[in-house]
């Protein structure tokens, strides 16, 4: 697998930015605490299934205090449509407790403090730092890992390797939203089984040897070349064969 050049990486993000200037997480949340809980619940679950459960959950409890008052049994019941719900309910109560005892009920803006919370790993901490606090972090989930490797953007064998390489290679101007552009690209275009290369806006930059591009169409969002203007008609010389034929 060859890697993209820095110029190609910049062009890659320029195009994704042109199509979606301010990408957002698809998880529903109203404050850093509800974002943290939603991300913890989203492990091995779709954002859609998480949002269906957190609608009623956050209506009942959108702060650590209210979540503890709701209690583990009730939380478990409200999230039972999500995978691993028993363990997740335990973690939601435990992290809420820890936020109250160690952080006055406020979600900390520091990686170490976030990763010390029950059920919170590096990926969750990165999402919270990025989406709640606007930090330039990249959370490597399954979609992002696939896209970074397939395209040659930042090949790596482990999520941390991919994250480190992306942080070093993505131009600073795109770091804030790189995480969401890549996740959305992997979720809707560069999908796992059959990537939609024929509609991919970065197909010509992608280094995936099995990419399925059969036409030479200009991808959506790609900078358009200015069309050549038709050359003005040449003035005819007097006495040219056309003139004399009339
Ligand atoms: S060309 Fe295909 S494999 Fe490459 S990024 Fe686009 S969808 Fe993915």
Q: Looking at the predicted structure, is the pLDDT value of residue 169 above 80?
A: yes
Q: For residues 45 and 246, what is the distance between their CA atoms, to the nearest angstrom?
A: 80
Q: For residues 130 and 177, what is the distance between their CA atoms, to the nearest angstrom?
A: 8
Region 210-220 average pLDDT: 63
Q: For residues 124 and 27, what is the distance between their CA atoms, to the nearest angstrom?
A: 13
Q: What is the pLDDT of residue 224?
A: 42
Q: Kindly state if the Cβ of 206 falls inside 6 Å of ligand 1.
A: yes
Q: Kindly state if the Cβ of 187 falls inside 6 Å of ligand 1.
A: no
**When comparing pLDDT for 235 and 110, which is higher?**
110
DSSP string, the chain: -PPPPHHHHHHHHHHHHHH-SS---SS--SSHHHHHHHHHHTTTS-HHHHHHHHHHHHHH-SSHHHHHHH-HHHHHHHTTTSTTHHHHHHHHHHHHHHHHHHHTT---SSHHHHHTSTT--HHHHHHHHHHTT--------HHHHHHHHHHTSS--SSHHHHHHHHHHHS-HHHHHHHHHHHHHHHHHTS-SSS--GGG-TTTTT---TT----S-PPPTTSPPPPPPPPPPPPPPPTT-HHHHH-
Task: Name the residue of 202, 207, 213 to mutate for ligand 1: max ligand atoms within 8 A of Cβ.
Answer: 202
- Let me know if 62 is a catalytic residue: no
Task: Verify that 95 and 168 share a domain, yes or no.
Answer: no
Task: Verify that 140 and 127 share a domain, yes or no.
Answer: no
Q: Kindly state if the Cβ of 181 falls inside 6 Å of ligand 1.
A: no
Q: Is residue 234 included in any domain, yes or no?
A: no
Query: Which CATH number covers residue 18?
Result: 1.10.1670.10
Task: Verify that 118 and 38 share a domain, yes or no.
Answer: yes
Q: For residues 133 and 240, what is the distance between their CA atoms, to the nearest angstrom?
A: 75
Task: Verify that 109 and 173 share a domain, yes or no.
Answer: no
Q: Kindly state if the Cβ of 202 falls inside 6 Å of ligand 1.
A: yes
- Residues 141/47, Cβ–Cβ less than 8 Å: no
Task: Verify that 180 and 197 share a domain, yes or no.
Answer: yes
Q: Kindly state if the Cβ of 200 falls inside 6 Å of ligand 1.
A: yes
Task: Verify that 124 and 72 share a domain, yes or no.
Answer: yes
Residue 4 has, within 13 A of its CA and on its CB side, a CA count of: 28
Q: Which residue range is the domain that position 56 belongs to?
A: 32-131
Taking only the tens place, the pLDDT of each residue in 114-135 is 999 999 999 999 999 999 999 9
Q: Looking at the predicted structure, is the pLDDT value of residue 225 above 90?
A: no
Q: Looking at the predicted structure, is the pLDDT value of residue 245 above 90?
A: no
Task: Verify that 13 and 45 share a domain, yes or no.
Answer: no
Range with the poorest average pLDDT among 68-72, 136-140, 177-181, 242-246? 242-246
DSSP string, 20-35: -SS---SS--SSHHHH
| Minimum CA distance residue for ligand 1 atom 8 | 190
Set 141, 157, 196, 204: catalytic member? 141
Give the dihedral sign, CA 15/44/120/40.
positive
- Residues 159/123, Cβ–Cβ less than 8 Å: yes
- Let me know if 80 is a catalytic residue: no
Tokens of 239: 């006495």
pTM: 0.84
Task: Verify that 57 and 104 share a domain, yes or no.
Answer: yes
Average pLDDT of every residue of the chain: 90
Tally of domains within the chain: 2
Q: What is the pLDDT of residue 198?
A: 96
Q: Looking at the predicted structure, is the pLDDT value of residue 88 above 90?
A: yes
Q: Is residue 232 included in any domain, yes or no?
A: no
Query: Which CATH number covers residue 117?
Result: 1.10.340.30
Q: Is residue 243 included in any domain, yes or no?
A: no
Q: What is the pLDDT of residue 214?
A: 66
Task: Verify that 1 and 20 share a domain, yes or no.
Answer: yes
Q: Is residue 228 included in any domain, yes or no?
A: no
Q: Is residue 239 included in any domain, yes or no?
A: no
Taking only the tens place, the pLDDT of each residue in 14-73 is 999 999 999 999 999 999 999 999 999 999 999 999 999 999 999 999 999 999 999 999
User: How large a percentage of the chain has pLDDT more than 70?
Assistant: 86
């Amino acid at each position: 697998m060859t890697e993209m050049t820095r110029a190609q990486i910049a062009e890659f993000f320029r195009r994704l930015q042109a199509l979606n200037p301010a990408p957002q997480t698809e998880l529903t949340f109203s404050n850093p605490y509800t974002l943290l809980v939603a991300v913890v619940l989203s492990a091995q679950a779709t954002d859609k299934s998480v949002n269906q459960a957190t609608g009623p959950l956050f209506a009942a409890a959108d702060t650590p205090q209210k979540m503890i008052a709701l209690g583990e049994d009730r939380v478990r019941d409200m999230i039972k449509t999500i995978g691993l719900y028993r363990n997740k309910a335990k973690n939601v109560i435990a992290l809420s407790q820890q936020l109250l005892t160690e952080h006055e009920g406020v979600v900390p803006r520091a990686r170490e403090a976030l990763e010390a919370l029950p059920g919170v790993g590096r990926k969750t901490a990165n999402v919270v730092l990025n989406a709640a606090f606007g930090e330039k972090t990249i959370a490597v989930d399954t979609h992002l890992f696939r896209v970074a490797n397939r395209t040659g953007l930042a090949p790596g064998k482990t999520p941390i390797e991919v994250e480190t390489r992306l942080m070093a290679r993505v131009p600073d101007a795109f770091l804030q939203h790189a995480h969401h552009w890549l996740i959305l690209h992997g979720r809707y275009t560069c999908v796992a089984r059959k990537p939609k290369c024929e509609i991919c806006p970065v197909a010509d930059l992608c280094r995936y040897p099995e990419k399925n591009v059969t036409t030479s169409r200009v991808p959506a969002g790609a900078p358009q070349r200015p069309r050549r203007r038709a050359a003005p008609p040449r003035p005819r010389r007097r006495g040219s064969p056309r003139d004399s034929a009339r």
